[in-house]
Chain A
Amino acid sequence: MGIANESRQEEQNMREEHHGAGRYWLIWGLLLVLTVVTVVTGRIHIPTWGLVLALVIASTKGTLVLLYFMHLADHRGANRLVFAVSIIFVVLLLAIPMVDLGTRFRGATPPGSTYSDLQAIDIGADAEEGRYGGAIRKEGKMGEESGAPKQ
């Protein structure tokens, strides 16, 4: 019975347009304004909080799309639960590796990363290729020209 009631409620929400097409235009306008905001603030390159701000704006835009374009606001019951659970999983999936990286022994981070001062560990046939951001591509190509000392 519970399921049937949910379905009825959802069907009514979806069928009755309490709003005309105007709401979609309004959401579109808001999304464009937020895009401008994210571009303007993004170009300033605010240290530390820039990423947080960008993610907050993106999440706000995402929420608008989900609730009104995808009609999550009108949906009921299990349909909302599924989405909420997937977002919880995404947050967990992101949080756990970041906590791991943030608390690692420095030497365990990859060579060349900001948080490591160890030398490169060469794995693979041609260790030089692509390892230094392209600085040393092939033996005798760039290395000789710049006279960079080999480790």
Chain B
Amino acid sequence: MQSSSHAAGGAALPVPRLAGHFASLEVQNHAARLGMWLFLATEILLFAGLFICYGVYRFLFPEAWAAASRSLDLTLGTINTVVLITSSLTAALAVHYAKEGKNKMVAVQLGLTLVMAVGFLVIKYFEYHHKFEIGTLPGRFYSYEGIQLPGVPLYFTVYFCATALHGIHVVIGMIVLAFSMVRALKKADFGPNNFTMVELGSMYWHLVDLVWIFLFPMLYLV
């Protein structure tokens, strides 16, 4: 049936392998994307739960929300947004080069994505650190004298839950992309018939970006 044009090694198995229960490679790729979209749909609903908490508490405590939001560092938040959007660009370019079989460029773009991901986490660390210093923390740990309003600790509960869950996704996305990068460097077998691994990993990364696109105005710009 279908075989890959990239089995140049001879001894190596042709990539990608077509599973017996798929009619063709096209159907197999279609199914792989369907699986990824299903997974991403569950991810969207996972974050939606937090967005609803956010919506409910913002409705109940609008003044606290506005005051607490202004205690965040908008500059750092904006920089992080730009960093994440740019890392999304490089992840998309990695797929583009994977289709063309330019494995070195795939590795470079994924490497850039990983560097920006680390940058994002470092900035996030400084933001967290500052909050622990001044005591803008969730619930009973809140001890910031600057803002004294009912509902402010709830804002920081939502803030920490949302950004921490997003941060975990950043780390998972980095691991996924790192696997693709190593493969692009070592096996260098991405090409027009074999780019599903880069494509799906990149889709996950775009979801991380997508979530942040909503979190940023919700948290920093009340």
Stretch at the interface among B59-67, B110-118, B124-132, B169-177: B59-67
Q: Once bound together, how far apart are the Cα atoms of A69 and B141, in whole Å? A: 40
B142 touches A133 (CB 8 A): yes
In the complex where A42-B217, A82-B38 touch, is A98 in contact with B55 (Cβ < 8 A)? yes
**Residue pair A65, B89 in contact (C-beta under 8 Å):** no
Our pick among B41, B143, B147 for the contact of A85 (Cβ within 8 Å) is: B41
Contacts A28-B86, A90-B44, A114-B61; A54 near B148 (Cβ below 8 A): no
SS class of chain B's interface: helix, strand, loop or mixed?
Answer: helix
B163: interface (CB < 8 Å) = no
Q: Mark B18-36, 1 if CB is under 8 A from A, else 0.
A: 0000011111011001100
> B74 on the interface (CB 8 Å rule)?
yes
Q: Per DSSP, are chain A's interface residues mostly helix, strand or loop, or mixed?
A: helix
Determine whether the beta carbon of B140 is less than 8 Å from that of A130. yes
Q: Taking A65-B209, A82-B41, A86-B41 as contacts, is the C-beta distance between A4 and B85 under 8 angstroms? A: no
Give the size of the chain A interface in residues (CB under 8 angstroms): 71
Are B147 and A133 within 8 A (Cβ)? yes
Tell me the nearest residue of chain B to A131, going by C-beta. B150
Provided the pairs A38-B217, A43-B221 are in contact, do residues A134 and B37 lie with their beta carbons within 8 angstroms? no
Contacting pair A11 B29 (CB below 8 A): yes
